Structure 1
């Protein structure tokens, strides 16, 4: 008895995607200045990445900054300090910002362009009904 071999499955589709790796690290003397991850995301556009940095500077991190660093953070987020970073991302270059906290700690924001693969499962095709 012969059996029909199963149809060849559609191969998994791989697509090259482009995005921006957004990372926030905290360094402190208590852990020997080993970076401690605070935030890690892949964002779609340079504008979205810079918007996220600006939002974090305005909302949560300003309270723990020394007065001089709070002024720097405010300038960067509100008065155009972010423009060179946005331009660098559009050129395909990384950018970042480091602010000093009290007691020798500091926070580092970095954004890097990246290319990555996304895999999609093969599409299911319903066998045709015979009528």
Structure 2
């Protein structure tokens, strides 16, 4: 059975919108990978506060356990005692920010947040076009 290509009357209309968000990227570097980044987490979050909240939660929950004592103290100071405030201010100004922690045996982990604009496609409001 042959079908014809969709025409303007059979396509589902969509509305394009430009959204503002923040790209949160967590990368681990180590000698075993030749210091090439190994992705740990990648997500787009809607607000600067949400990006900082994710970093603080990750620092407290999982990454602090395997750190040298000095870096553990630095991570907790950043996440619990206001060290994150300059990063939040930078994101509100539209600037990127980040945080790097050295791990054991020459490895390190990096959190980076960058403002971005992206395009979303949503179904257009109104009655749906019936398909034949």
Q: Is TM > 0.5 for Structure 1 vs Structure 2? A: yes
Structure 1 segments unaligned to the other structure (5+ residues) = none
User: In the aligned structure 1, how far is the partner of 2:109 from the partner of 2:8?
Assistant: 56
> Match of 2:29?
27
What is the number of residues matched between the two proteins? 123
Give the TM-score normalised by the residue count of structure 1.
0.86
Which residue, 63, 66, 70 being the options, matches 1:64? Answer: 66
Q: Unaligned stretches of 5+ in structure 2?
A: 1-6
- Give the Å deviation of 1:120: 1.8
TM-superposed CA distance for 1:121, in Å, is 3.3
Whether the 8 Å CA contact 2:12–2:128 is kept in 1: the answer is no
Larger radius of gyration: 1
C-alpha contact (below 8 Å) 2:28/2:110 kept by paired residues: yes
User: What SS does the aligned partner of 1:65 have?
Assistant: coil
C-alpha RMSD of matched pairs (Å) = 2.0
Q: Are 2:108 and 1:109 aligned?
A: no
Question: TM-score, structure 2 length as denominator?
Answer: 0.86
